[in-house]
């Protein structure tokens, strides 16, 4: 591949069935990380004062970006198989929204992956409502027991806007991502992005391209898969063994996080502070809810540097819980 835009396009093309028209290099805009793309997409599609349907829970950075743009967030409950389809359809009907932001593969924070039938139904719904799906495929390279098939590969009518990031799978030092959008929206988006950051350094793009084109890339992805599996299983085992009050609704098929439910009476802020004072950093789940949290949750990351410490971390977490 001769340039990074072509590489991003080819990633979708390779998974697109032959009867559908795949995106081309022309449809790709390279971004300095996908976080910038989120704000730009929310501004270009919903616009200030407009409505954005959003999974709940979802990525806190998307919630912040949407609030900064001034869009109204309408949460759609999401679970281990993806969004509640009845609630999604109702939300489209009740609000007249023209956009739904979602993470069909290995969502942050839950790690959930939508089933093929849920993905097909959401695509159908988005088309029926003449709306857009913003598919944030940030964890494309973090499959553990499954692979990620983007919904964008099942759409050639321009209803799916696709975001893919390399900042975590290549390196945080190479902050590069892409948005793939077809039709008039691409032009609007490009104008908005250029107003903020003009373009992404050619040097950075060349560095990213060298990595993903290089002989080590597929090997790196395979190694990542194995490492994530080991870490995920270690963490699940540590939590199940040492934190009897914690519930894991589903072991994630991919991603970097374990989403753990705690009893409703837990004081989450206090728990986070208490664990921090013991040297254990955990993320309280409230920030991942665009409105009222559906319960007390923790997001436990298993990408960190010390998997050997998970057992001890689970013991510390349980101590902090039982001291409440």
Residues that bind ligand PLP in the complex, under the rule CB under 6 A:
33-35, 59, 61, 103, 108, 136, 138, 165, 167, 177
CB of 12 vs ligand PLP, minimal distance in Å: 17
d(CA 32, CA 65): 15
**Signed CA dihedral, 4, 9, 13, 14: sign only:** positive
CB of 15 vs ligand PLP, minimal distance in Å: 20
Please count the other Cβ atoms lying within 10 Å of the Cβ belonging to residue 27. Answer: 21
Pick 201 or 324: Cβ nearer ligand PLP: 201
| Helix axes 310-322 and 217-242, enclosed angle (nearest 10) | 40
CB of 33 vs ligand PLP, minimal distance in Å: 3
d(CA 269, CA 274): 9
d(CA 150, CA 165): 13
Pick 35 or 40: Cβ nearer ligand PLP: 35
Pick 78 or 103: Cβ nearer ligand PLP: 103
Pick 256 or 314: Cβ nearer ligand PLP: 256
Pick 169 or 318: Cβ nearer ligand PLP: 169
Pick 83 or 266: Cβ nearer ligand PLP: 83
Three-state DSSP state, 152? helix
CB of 51 vs ligand PLP, minimal distance in Å: 20
CB of 35 vs ligand PLP, minimal distance in Å: 3
d(CA 167, CA 160): 22
Residue 304: which residues within 8 A CB-CB, separation 6 or more?
Answer: none
**Signed CA dihedral, 306, 308, 310, 313: sign only:** negative
CB of 164 vs ligand PLP, minimal distance in Å: 9
């Amino acid at each position: 591949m001769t340039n990074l835009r072509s590489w991003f396009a080819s990633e979708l093309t390779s998974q697109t069935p032959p009867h559908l028209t795949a995106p081309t290099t022309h449809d790709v805009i390279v971004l300095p990380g996908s976080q910038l793309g989120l704000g730009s997409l929310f501004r270009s599609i919903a616009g200030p004062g407009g409505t954005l349907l959003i999974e709940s829970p979802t990525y806190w950075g998307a919630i912040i970006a949407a609030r900064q743009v001034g869009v109204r967030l309408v949460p759609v409950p999401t679970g281990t198989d993806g969004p509640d389809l009845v609630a999604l359809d109702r939300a489209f009907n009740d609000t007249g929204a023209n956009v739904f932001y979602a993470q069909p593969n290995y969502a942050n924070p839950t790690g959930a992956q939508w089933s093929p039938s849920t993905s097909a139904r959401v695509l159908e719904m988005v088309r029926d409502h003449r709306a857009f799906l913003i598919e944030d495929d940030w964890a494309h390279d973090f499959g553990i027991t499954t692979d990620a098939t983007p919904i964008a590969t099942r759409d050639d009518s321009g209803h799916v806007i696709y975001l893919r990031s390399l900042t975590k799978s290549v390196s945080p030092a190479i902050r590069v991502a892409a948005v793939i959008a077809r039709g008039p929206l691409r032009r609007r988006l490009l104008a908005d992005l250029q107003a903020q950051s003009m373009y992404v350094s050619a040097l950075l793009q060349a560095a990213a391209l060298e990595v993903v084109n290089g002989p080590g890339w597929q090997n790196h992805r395979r190694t990542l898969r194995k490492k994530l599996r080991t870490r995920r299983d270690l963490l699940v085992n540590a939590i199940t063994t040492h934190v009897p009050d914690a519930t894991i609704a589903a072991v994630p098929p991919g991603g970097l996080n374990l989403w753990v439910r705690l009893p409703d009476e837990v004081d989450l802020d206090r728990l986070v502070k208490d664990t921090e004072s013991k040297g254990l950093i955990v993320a309280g789940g409230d920030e991942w809810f665009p409105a009222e949290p559906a319960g007390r949750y923790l997001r436990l990351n298993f990408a960190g540097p010390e998997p050997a410490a998970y057992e001890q971390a689970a013991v510390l977490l349980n101590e902090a819980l039982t001291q409440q």
